[in-house]
Structure 1
Amino acid sequence: MVEFGKKLKQRQIQEWKRYYINYKLMKRKVKQYAKQIEVGAADRRHVLIDFSVMLDNQIEKVVLFILEQQGLLASRISKLREQHAVPTQQPHISKISELCEAYRAAGQDLLKLLFFVEMNAIGLRKILKKFDKRLGYRFTDYYVQTRANHPYSQLQQVFRHVGVGAVVGAISHNLANLQDRQGRCLSIYDHPSTPFKDPIIDSINAAVVRLTYSTNFLHFVGRHAFIMEEELPSTADDAVDEQGYHLMSLFLNLANTFLYMVNTYIVVPTADSYSMSLGAAATVCGVVIGAMAVAQLLSSVYFSAWSNKSYFRPLVFSSIVLLVGNVLYALAYDLDSLAVLLVGRIICGLGSARAVNRRYISDCVPLKMRMQASAGFVSASALGMACGPALAGLLQTNFKFYKITFNKDTLPGWVMALAWLIYLVLLWISFEDPAREAEENISRQANSGPLENGALESGLTRPLILRTEEKHQQDDDEEYEDSEVSKESHKPASTIRSAYRLLTPSVKVQLLIYFMLKYAMEILLAESSVVTSYYFGWSTSSVAIFLACLGVTVLPVNIIVGSYISNMFKDRQILLASEIVVCIGIIFSFHIISPYSVPQYVCSGFITFIFAEVLEGVNLSLLSTVMSSKLSRGTYNGGLLSTEAGTLARVVADGTITLAGYFGESRLLNLTLIPSLFICISSIIATICNYNSFY
Structure 2
Amino acid sequence: MYDGDDEIKKKEFYKNSIATTPPLIYNSHQPRLLQKREIKEDMVAFGKKLRELQIPEWREHYINYKLMKKKVNRYTQQIEIGTQNDYNVLRDFSRLLDIQIEKIVLFLLEQQGLLAMRLSSLGEEQGALSQQLTEANVAELQEQYRAAGQDLLRLLAFVEINAIGLRKILKKFDKRFGYKFTDYYVKTRANHPHSQLKQVFKQVGIVAVAGAIFHNLAELEGHKESYISIYDQLDLSYQDPVIDSIKAALNRLSNSTNFLQFLGKHAMLLEDGLSDPAENNVDERYNFMSLLLNLVNTFLYMVNTYIIVPTADNYTMSLGAAATVCGIVIGAMPVAQVFSSVYFSSWSNRSYMQPLVFSSIILVVGNALYALAYDLKSITVLLVGRLFCGLGSARAVNRRYITDCVPLRLRMQASAGFVSASALGMACGPALACVFQRNFKILFITFNEDTLPGWAMALAWLIFLVWLCICFKEPFSVIPSEANTEAKQECADQECDDDDNDDGGQSKRTRKPVNSIMLAYKLLTPSVKVQLFVYFMLKYAMEIVLAESSIITGYYFVWSTTNVAVFLACLGLTVLPVNIIVGNYLSNLFEERQLLLASEIMLCIGVILSFHILIPYSVPQYVCSALITFVSAEILEGVNLSLLSRVMSSRLSRGTFNGGLLSTEAGTIARVIADGTITLSGYLSESKLLNITLLPSLFICVYAIIATCFTYNSLY
Q: TM-score normalised to the size of structure 1?
A: 0.92
Kindly provide the CA deviation profile for residues 289-345 of structure 1, in whole angstroms up to 9, marking residues without a partner as x.
111101110111111111112222222221221111111111111111111111111
Query: 2:86 aligned with 1:44, yes or no?
Result: yes
Note the C-alpha offset of 1:206.
2.4
1:591 aligns with 612
Match of 1:370?
A: 411
Q: Per the alignment, in what secondary structure is the counterpart of residue 163 of structure 1? A: helix
Is residue 403 of structure 1 aligned with residue 444 of structure 2? Answer: yes
CA gap of 1:168–1:449, structure 2 versus 1, over 3 A, is farther
Matches within 5 A, 1:356-505: 356-436=397-477, 447=488, 480=499, 484=505, 486=507, 489-505=510-526
Corresponding residue pairs, total: 672
Output the amino acid matched with 1:247.
Answer: F
- Counterpart AA for 1:159: F
Instruction: Indicate the residue corresponding to 1:573 in structure 2.
Output: 594
How far, CA to CA, are the matches of 1:194 and 1:541 in structure 2? 49
Hey, what does 1:518 align to over in structure 2?
A: 539
Gaps of 5+ in 1: 456-476
Compared with structure 1, are the counterparts of its residues 137 and 393 closer, same or farther at alpha carbon in structure 2 (3 Å cutoff)? closer
Given residue 62 of structure 1, which amino acid in structure 2 is its aligned partner?
A: I
Of residues 488-497 and 300-309 in structure 1, the stretch that sits farther from structure 2 once superposed is 488-497
1:328 aligns with 2:369: yes
Alignment partner of 1:159 is 2:180 = no
- Residue-by-residue CA offset, 1:44-69 (whole Å, 9 max, x unaligned): 22221111110000011111112222
Secondary structure at 1:436 match in 2:
coil
| 1:559 corresponding residue in structure 2 | 580
User: How many Å apart are 1:28 and its aligned residue?
Assistant: 1.4
SS of alignment partner, residue 512 of structure 2: coil
Q: Mean Cα displacement is larger for which, 270-279 or 182-191?
A: 182-191
Q: 1:313 aligns with which of 354, 376, 401?
A: 354
Aligned pairs for 1:563-642 (under 5 A) are 563-642=584-663
CA pair 30-249 structure 1, distance change in 2 beyond 3 A: same
Among the aligned pairs, what percent are the same residue?
67
Distance 2:519 2:260 in 1: 33
Given the superposition, is the C-alpha separation of residues 448 and 555 from structure 1 closer, same or farther in structure 2, using an over 3 Å criterion? same
> Which structure 2 residue ranges, 5 or more long, are not aligned?
1-42
1:15 and 2:57 are equivalent in the alignment:
yes
Instruction: Give the SS at the match of 1:489.
Output: helix
Distance 2:134 2:343 in 1: 64
Aligned-pair CA distance for 1:598: 0.6
Q: Deviations over 1:154-200 (max 9, x none)?
A: 11221233532223323333333334461426433223256754433
Whether 1:240 and 2:266 are equivalent positions in the alignment is: no
Q: Determine helix, strand or coil for the equivalent of 1:279.
A: coil
Find out whether 1:5 has 2:47 as its counterpart.
yes
Matched residue SS, 1:400: strand
Cα deviation 1:253-291 (Å, max 9, x = unaligned)? 111111111111011000001111111111011011111
Question: Equivalent of 1:112, from 151, 154, 157?
Answer: 154
SS in 2 for 1:10: helix
Structure 1 residue 690 corresponds to structure 2 residue 711: yes
Partner in structure 2 of residue 34 of structure 1: 76
Shift of 1:81: 3.6
User: Residues 197 and 237 (structure 1 numbering): CA distance in 2 closer, same or farther, change over 3 Å?
Assistant: farther
2:437–2:448 contact (8 Å) kept in structure 1: yes
| Structure 2 CA distance for partners of 1:409 and 1:488, relative to 1, 3 Å | same
**1:338 equivalent in structure 2:** 379
CA distance in 2, matches of 1:446, 1:681: 49
Identify which range, 97-106 or 514-523, moves more after superposition: 97-106
Is 2:251 the partner of 1:203? no
Q: Is the 8 A contact 2:178 2:526 kept in 1?
A: no
Does residue 527 of structure 1 match 2:548?
yes
Per-residue deviation, 1:501: 0.5
Q: Secondary structure at the match of 2:441?
A: strand
Paired with 1:537 and 1:518, the residues of 2 have a C-alpha distance of 27
Aligned to 2:27: none
Q: What is the Cα-based RMSD across aligned positions, in Å?
A: 2.6
Residue type at the aligned position of 1:693: S
Q: Tell which deviates more after alignment, 73-82 or 497-506.
A: 73-82
Deviation digits for residues 467-489 of structure 1, max 9, x if unmatched? xxxxxxxxxx9565698573662
Distance 1:390 1:659 in 2: 28
SS in 1 for 2:657: coil
Of the three residues 671, 679, 684, the one matched with 1:658 is: 679
Going from structure 1 to structure 2, the CA distance change for 1:430 and 1:411 (only over 3 Å counts) comes to: same
Correspondence for 2:40: none
Please tell me whether the aligned partners of residues 595 and 639 of structure 2 are also in contact (alpha carbons under 8 angstroms): yes
Matched AA of 2:161: M
Partner Cα separation in structure 2 for residue 233 and residue 63 of structure 1? 28
The one-letter code sitting in structure 2 at the alignment partner of 1:434 is P
**Hey, what's the Cα distance between the residues in 1 that align with 2:564 and 2:632?**
21
Are the equivalent residues in 2 in contact too, given 1:177–1:185 (CA < 8 A)?
A: yes
Q: Which amino acid aligns with 2:102?
A: E
